[in-house]
Amino acid sequence: MFKSLLIANRGEIAVRIIRTARRMGLKTIAVYSDADANAYHVAEADEAYRIGPAPAAESYLRVEAILDACARSGAEAVHPGYGFLSENAGFAEACEKAGLVFVGPPASAIKAMGLKDAAKALMEKAGVPVVPGYHGDNQEGDFLAGQAETIGYPVLIKAVAGGGGKGMRRVDDPADFAKELKSAQREAGAAFSDERVLVEKYVARPRHIEIQVFADSHGQAVSLHERDCSLQRRHQKVIEEAPAPGMPDEMRKAMGEAAVAAAKAIGYRGAGTVEFIADASDGLKPDGFWFMEMNTRLQVEHPVTEAITGQDLVEWQLRVASGEHLPLTQKDVPLKGHAVEVRLYAEDPAKKFFPSTGKLLRLRTPANMPHVRTDMGVREGDDVSMFYDPMIGKIIAHGDTRLIALRMLRGYLSRMEVAGPKTNLAFLAAAIGHDAFMAGDIDTGFIDRHLDKLVPAGGVEPRVLALGVAAHMLMRRSQLEKSQGPGDEPHSPWAASDGWILGGHRSETLKFVVAGEEVALVVTPEDGGWRITGAGNADVLASAQLDDDHVLTATVDGVRLVAACVPRGPGFILAHEGAATDFEVVDPLDVDVISDADAGALKAPMPGKIVQVLVEAGAKVRKGAALVVMEAMKMEQTLVAGADSVVTDVHVGVGDQVEAGAALITFEEKDA
């Protein structure tokens, strides 16, 4: 076994690898970009080496920078994690030439599976079923459109060198094929420096089921059962579980054997995942699955496999890379209980899941839940950067049954406190608690089908408003008390902050911007607390205490509630039952706070790059019309018109880098 390991990655997976390597007695070495100088994975490693500026292309994707860090640190082995260079055959070859142990498959296996079209041809020869489609070299638009017609709509355009949902588009209408093809090619080129695509039949009720395989250098290969990754958004996995709900034993056996055959066909070594698409139209059947691709690395969702098998897959990787035999034979691989994983992202579900950035002002997880595991890539106080994937971390629950695991996970999510960037925490809790999901009625269209219930439109519950009022009143009282001078008499009536006046108590109207909407609430001191009336016909009685850790303990109409109150700017974030609600305090003397002077401009929601401008000055656009395509945090986002308008000016062009809040397009509303 080698003695030192450099992790050529960042974030959650780097921290995950470091912990196993440290337990095995290895020296751990991290690398970091300028944006990650104070990152979690850097703090966890024994040593860390700078490899370049913040953009991934200038740091984590630079093979020469990684090899230089290996040379400077004396590393004997390199673990690529997932993403970045993990499936780069050139990187694997460069490590081997430098005398380093590459913790992954041989470069030949990466090449064999790196291009989806060639991989499918190889799998057909190995007897693995594949999805009908065109996987050839002709990339001419009209030709591909013709192939799509032959295959039959709907079809799926997929980047040949793709992964993570990038460069992938579903097309239902032939009229949209050319536009979606260009978008897929552009995104594939930006992500993988390869614009080539393939076209496949889109399965009507698809289940995304994958098999974890492992192979050693002694000719042994095993399957560690399946994972169901059907809950996806924009072809990116959001929730994964193992085993797959409703999986018949004979289908599990057939898929496992097909996956092992795929691994052996390319002389595989290490951890890999063979991804299949299954038709769920009439239940799962042994003859109803087809090969999609093989990921020649450790997967993001590997913890659910670890939970049901009791194995540490990173340890398996390190042992196999050092030449050891697989720890288990196929007949000895256990399957215990059920595990579910959710991916916590910095994104705003209410704004079409647009990525969010900023400082994590609060990141707290509940204690005393031993069957729930968290794999975090950041800590409280860290920044979620615009340069990398917006995943904050993963939460994994394991139970004797699927329902037990889901209930534990939902309870855990409802007790988490996350404030700073917008997150999908409440969305995840809603998804795993949905009746259809609990019943196992899932496919890759689940999120789109139930989106209105998973992301409710607007509105804030009266008791959440009451918690916000209580938090504001207590923070204001604390500020008043701190502002008193050393000579002030604390028992003087002039020092009181309870709203008392001669003849009774004074009511006041508080104004907040809550979840983007202005709310006015009348607050009257009563019984040591406050009577709150106003928005949404709210009429509640609340009392509360706020401790030094910003934990709010309140009673609202006789119900005891706990929330976290995190100050930010002219207001605070209230974290309650897994949801984070922004309260911006409106200063009645500051008219600009509620001004709509900026209503005539489309602004950049975050820093990014302009990849397409779809309108010109003078154009008349309808509400919802696409105006600009922007690349941010590795994904393309389409910005649309908020109302029927006339474009007056276009301020950006293709290739421009813009900051958050920059005016991209200005317009005037059309006359009624």
Active site residues: 297
Q: Residue 497, Cβ neighbours under 10 Å: how many?
A: 13
Q: How far apart are CA 17 and CA 5, in angstroms?
A: 10
| Residue of 166, 153, 168 lying closest to 198 (CA atoms) | 168
Q: Which two tokens stand for residue 526?
A: 């009563």
Q: How far apart are CA 516 and CA 427, in angstroms?
A: 18
**Any idea of the CA torsion for 427, 428, 434, 440, to the nearest 10 degrees?**
150
**Any idea of the CA torsion for 216, 220, 225, 227, to the nearest 10 degrees?**
40
Assign 3-class secondary structure to 309-342.
Answer: HCCCHHHHHHHHHCCCCCCCCHHHCCCCCEEEEE
Taking phi over 0 as left and psi of -120 to 50 as alpha, with beta for the rest, 121 belongs to alpha
Taking phi over 0 as left and psi of -120 to 50 as alpha, with beta for the rest, 256 belongs to alpha
- Run of H or E including 43: helix 40-44
Helix, coil or strand: residue 591 = helix
Q: How far is CA 603 from the centre of its chain?
A: 24
| Residue of 643, 528, 512, 626 lying closest to 573 (CA atoms) | 512
Q: How far is CA 452 from the centre of its chain?
A: 20
- Run of H or E including 191: helix 177-192
DSSP 283: B
